[in-house]
């Protein structure tokens, strides 16, 4: 069975951008509109001769009253159940926000292998980009730019090494 990598994080952190980069497609919708990906989206990728499945989600939106957001939330929870490894994306440009804390709490309870990924880090020193997110209590974050590709190769190497 191919390892399943699931992307989670609040809307607009860059999950779909990373999905497209990992799968080499433009399948996932990327937009400035938060919450655009309502369903789970499956793709596959290959890294150094190893194939993997990647799942994009509509994101986890704790305490949202919007029924469509609730649906995306349900989809994300279902995706998490099938995850062999979870990539939890956060946005360095927004910094650590309460929704990140809520998702971190949920993921700690879930107890799946997880990597904290600080996205939109282009043009920022690595230490500066990750400092704010240590407080999430999920270990050392990896910094990437899903849009420009920096750090994505290292991220895949690190994830596939432990899968």
Structure tokens at 111: 């107890």
- What is the Cα–Cα distance from 9 to 24, expressed in whole angstroms? 21
Residue 11 C-beta: closest distance to ligand GDP, Å: 5
- What CA dihedral angle connects 145, 146, 149 and 151, to 10 degrees? 60
Give me the residues that bind ligand GDP (CB under 6 A), please: 9, 11-17, 30-32, 34, 36-37, 59, 119-120, 122, 145-147
Among 9, 13, 14, 16, binds Mg ion (CB under 5 A): 16
Q: Which residue has the tokens 């400035």?
A: 32
Of residues 27-66, those binding Mg ion (CB under 5 A): 37
Residue 111 C-beta: closest distance to ligand GDP, Å: 23
Residue 16 C-beta: closest distance to ligand GDP, Å: 3
The answer to the question of whether 58 is labelled as a binding residue is yes
Contact 132, 141 (CB under 8 A): no
- What is the Cα–Cα distance from 45 to 23, expressed in whole angstroms? 5
Residue 122 binding result from Mg ion, ligand GDP, none, given CB thresholds of 5 to 8 Å by partner type: ligand GDP
Distance set, CA 134 to CA 93, 96, 116, 131, 149 (Å): 15, 10, 9, 6, 23
x-marked contacts with Mg ion along 97-116 as a string, rule CB under 5 A: --------------------
Return residues touching Mg ion (CB under 5 A): 15-16, 37
Feature table: binding site for GTP: 9-16, 56-60, 119-122
């Amino acid at each position: 069975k191919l390892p399943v990598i699931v992307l989670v994080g609040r809307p607009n952190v860059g999950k779909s951008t990373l999905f497209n980069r990992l799968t080499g497609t433009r399948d996932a919708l990327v937009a400035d509109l938060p919450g655009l990906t309502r369903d789970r989206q499956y793709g596959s990728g290959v890294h150094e001769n190893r194939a993997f499945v990647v799942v994009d989600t509509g994101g986890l939106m704790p305490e949202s009253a919007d029924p469509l957001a609730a649906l995306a939330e349900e989809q994300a929870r279902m995706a998490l159940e099938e995850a062999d490894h979870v990539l939890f994306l956060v946005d360095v440009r927004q910094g650590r926000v309460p929704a990140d804390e809520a998702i971190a709490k949920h993921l700690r309870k879930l107890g799946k292998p997880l990597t904290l990924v600080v996205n939109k880090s282009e043009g920022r020193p690595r230490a500066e980009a990750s400092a704010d997110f240590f407080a999430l209590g999920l270990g050392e974050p990896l910094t990437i730019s899903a849009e420009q590709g920096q750090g994505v190769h290292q991220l895949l190497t690190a994830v596939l090494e432990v899968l």
